[in-house]
């Protein structure tokens, strides 16, 4: 760490996911190898080439949000605010007039309120411009999960919303980390939220040949690093962390769950959807995270991979891990929790950071499920099919997004 920068710790977690709508349920789902993938129920997908997704099930926001307000919010905003309230409660952090300007929010999203946009486009076409909801723009813009969470919590500090596609949640955490390091805030609620399981969202990714088409067996469709992987499974939800400066957390007697020590971010500058061959950009982000945290490859005990289950991502990420960790890459567990949750796009970095903190807490590595056919181009220890007890001190979390965005976060047990 650079001298003069504040140390930053994790004190709270929130999660709304396809395998559980609380942190405890999410962790149970991860460690039991539960698949959150099933046939789409949010809309009639019978005409779609891909007819399954990883939906959030049995979600009722009214325990956290007034029913009248919830009706005015896009689903991704509901996820973000619920996860934010969970995380703040978990941290035991009270926001008051005295500290509100030192507590901020940063919730990334890849596409924002896509459902609102589609719904109101149909209203415009069918009923005319006068019938379009006055809440259309506030409901669909990608900063509104941040805005609504800040309003709900009374957080008046730094406020932002990163939109770096599938890296957005991790970028939001990394940017919040930087603000805290520099003393610009005392605490940040940060991560990602997404809800893009809509007719247009699914059709668009399917047309791009990015999705799996295993309609006959959805539960096994997300199979990162497996030789027979054929695309990702779209998911939805939100994962948020409460980050605080160590001094602030200690002063209020907070329970410290982990320390965030490194953040690396780069761009491939190569192609709008495909990663640079050989994992060059991802490896650079991983090396920057290591350097930022003063870490060596030998100190890494686990990598939560981006692991989308697409042919290009998984082989390139394998190459990136080998480039950045060298011989250590063959000796550490590398798993993809997207095998269970699907790919939450901008929300993925948030729930995967939550998974990393929980892994550190419990010394358990979540598995990569649906792994049956090894791929020689993905020859890492992918923790196949069952969770594994493993002593963890330092872990990495990778997120890569369309546009070439690469992020790596490093977490460790507090010294």
Which residues are catalytically annotated? 166, 306, 343
**114 within 8 A of 140, measured Cβ to Cβ:** yes
The rounded distance, in Å, linking the Cα atoms of 342 and 19 is 10
Q: Token pair of 210, please?
A: 């990015």
Q: Token pair of 76, please?
A: 């991704």
């Amino acid at each position: 760490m650079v001298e003069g920068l504040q140390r930053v710790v994790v004190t709270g977690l929130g999660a709304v996911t396809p395998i559980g709508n609380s942190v405890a349920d999410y962790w149970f789902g991860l460690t039991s190898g539960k698949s959150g993938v099933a046939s789409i129920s949010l809309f009639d997908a019978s005409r779609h080439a891909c007819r399954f997704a990883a939906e959030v099930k049995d979600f009722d926001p009214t325990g956290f949000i007034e029913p009248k307000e919830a009706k005015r919010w896009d689903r991704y905003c509901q996820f973000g605010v619920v996860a934010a309230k969970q995380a703040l409660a978990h941290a035991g952090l009270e926001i008051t007039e005295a500290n509100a300007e030192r507590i901020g929010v940063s919730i990334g999203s890849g596409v924002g309120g896509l459902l609102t946009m589609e719904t109101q486009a149909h209203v415009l076409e069918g009923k005319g411009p006068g019938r379009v909801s006055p809440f259309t723009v506030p409901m669909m813009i990608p900063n509104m999960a941040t805005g609504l969470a800040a309003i709900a919590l009374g957080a008046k500090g730094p406020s932002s919303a990163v939109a770096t596609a599938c890296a957005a949640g991790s970028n939001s955490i990394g940017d919040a980390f930087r603000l805290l390091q520099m003393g610009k805030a005392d605490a940040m609620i940060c991560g990602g939220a997404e809800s893009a399981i809509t007719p247009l969202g699914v059709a668009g990714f399917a047309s791009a040949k990015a999705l799996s088409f295993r309609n006959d067996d959805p539960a096994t469709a997300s199979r990162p690093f497996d030789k027979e992987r054929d695309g990702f499974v779209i998911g939805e939800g939100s994962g948020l962390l409460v980050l605080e400066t160590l001094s602030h957390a200690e002063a209020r007697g907070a329970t410290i769950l982990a320390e965030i020590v490194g953040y690396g971010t780069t761009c491939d500058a190569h192609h709008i959807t495909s990663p640079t061959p050989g994992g060059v950009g991802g490896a650079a982000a991983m090396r920057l995270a290591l350097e930022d945290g003063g870490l060596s490859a030998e100190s890494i005990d686990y990598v939560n991979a981006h692991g989308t289950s697409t042919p290009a991502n998984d082989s390139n990420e394998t190459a990136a891990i080998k480039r950045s960790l060298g011989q250590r890459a063959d000796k550490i567990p590398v798993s993809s929790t997207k095998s269970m949750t699907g790919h939450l796009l901008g929300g993925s970095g948030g729930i995967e950071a939550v998974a990393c903190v929980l892994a550190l807490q419990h010394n358990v590595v979540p598995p990569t499920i649906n792994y049956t056919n090894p791929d020689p181009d993905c020859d890492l220890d992918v923790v196949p099919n069952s969770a594994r007890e493993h002593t963890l001190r330092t872990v990495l979390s990778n997120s890569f997004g369309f546009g070439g965005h690469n992020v790596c976060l490093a977490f460790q047990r507090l010294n």
